[in-house]
Amino acid sequence: MLKHVDKYILKELIYPFLFGVAAFTLILIGGGILPGLVGKAVKYGVSFFYVIRILFYRLPDIIVYIFPMSMLLSTLIAFGRLSSDGEITAFRSGGVNFVRLMLPALVVGLIVTFLTFFISEFTVPSANIKSRQLEENIKQKTVTAIKENVNLTEYEKGYLKRIIYAKKLENKTMYDVSISEFDKGSFSRAIFAHKAIWKQKNGWIFFDGIMHQFSQENPESVFVIKFSKEEINLTIKPMDLNKKKRKSDEMNFIELSNYINLRKKTGNDTRDLTIKMYQKLAIPFASFLFVLLGAPLGIRPHRSSSTIGLGLSILVVFMYYFITAIGVWLTMIEILSPLTGTWLPNIITVFLGIYLIKRVSN
């Protein structure tokens, strides 16, 4: 008996979920992403094929937000239809309580949560990197290859190793170069030069510069060397200087966690990065929690239509991200910890869902 009920409810959930994925995808792409990409294509004179490719790589990041919204919509529509047709009452009359009726939806919500997390961890970072590279390729078709204010920070075994700055990088030549080197966290050498040229065989050759060498035994002792031409051994190449730092949305949870630990060792504030790290868990988990909210909210005859269900789900999602913004703000001003601030909307959703479930059950 219950197996047939579970299958019946699963069928009621699948089609609204697919409808939600299609509807929210069109809304997000058509309303926010596509106009901006088309504008860039027109500005830089590239084909529409480029726009389609970038859009394709943007999809995984969009899906991470669409799946929880679609799970909420499917639960609202499914339980709204069951309620409007009197089937919820019939099931309860047969001894099946409301929480038991929610079980198939909770299982689906859990599956969608794991699927969303998998996409967020293993697909989104690489897709975002490729999307950014394509957009940079578009700009490079019309923008000169000269780069200004180039920065590169190197780490070794968890310690800050080297900071390189060049006022200008043109092909294989750096101009107005300054290099700060460290030995296990202690300042060891500083180099300033008018320019540095990369030679494939010899590495970097510095011209018209000065070098300050600090003694590790006696920090107050400094050796100063002026030079007109000096070959200095660096492990970096020009292509390394052209690489841009990976953004938080281009790393998975573990990579971002390691990057945060490195930033902490150099005394940098990492609250914003920690928030984004915890959001990589909080947002996928919303797929499961929205079932707790959507099922009891759907138990009203007038909410059974997909149009009203879509409107209600958009309202709930708006409130969810509004509370998310409040949680981030409270975290940034150090009232809440990053974990609590990030999970604040999920915590509220759990308590509100439990309250509504109890109310419907009674």
- With respect to residue 214, please indicate whether it lies within any of the assigned structural domains: yes
Which of 196, 211, 244 is the last residue before a domain boundary?
A: 244
Q: Residues 66, 115: contact at Cβ < 8 Å?
A: no
- With respect to residue 250, please indicate whether it lies within any of the assigned structural domains: no
Which of 210, 244, 278 is the last residue before a domain boundary?
A: 244
pTM of structure: 0.74
Do 180 and 158 share a domain, yes or no? yes
Do 119 and 170 share a domain, yes or no? no
Range of the domain at 89: 2-136+266-361
Task: Give the dihedral sign, CA 77/78/82/88.
Answer: negative
- With respect to residue 261, please indicate whether it lies within any of the assigned structural domains: no
- With respect to residue 27, please indicate whether it lies within any of the assigned structural domains: yes
Task: Specify which residues 150 forms β-bridges with.
Answer: 166
pLDDT for the residue numbered 144: 46
Question: C-alpha distances in angstroms, 253 versus 12, 256, 338?
Answer: 34, 5, 15
How do the pLDDT tens digits run along the chain, 362 residues long? 578 888 999 999 999 999 999 999 998 888 778 787 777 777 777 777 878 888 899 999 999 999 999 999 999 999 988 888 888 888 888 888 898 999 999 999 999 999 999 999 999 999 998 888 887 776 655 444 567 788 887 877 767 788 888 988 887 888 999 998 888 777 888 999 999 998 877 788 999 999 988 876 676 678 888 999 888 877 777 666 666 667 888 899 999 998 888 788 767 788 999 999 999 999 999 999 999 999 999 886 544 455 677 788 889 999 999 999 999 999 999 999 999 999 999 999 999 999 999 998 87
Do 121 and 30 share a domain, yes or no? yes
- With respect to residue 230, please indicate whether it lies within any of the assigned structural domains: yes
Do 20 and 126 share a domain, yes or no? yes
Question: How many folded domains does the chain comprise?
Answer: 2
Do 125 and 164 share a domain, yes or no? no
- With respect to residue 337, please indicate whether it lies within any of the assigned structural domains: yes
- With respect to residue 328, please indicate whether it lies within any of the assigned structural domains: yes
Do 107 and 19 share a domain, yes or no? yes
For residue 95, the 8-state DSSP code is: T
Do 221 and 287 share a domain, yes or no? no
Do 130 and 156 share a domain, yes or no? no
- With respect to residue 251, please indicate whether it lies within any of the assigned structural domains: no
pLDDT for the residue numbered 240: 65
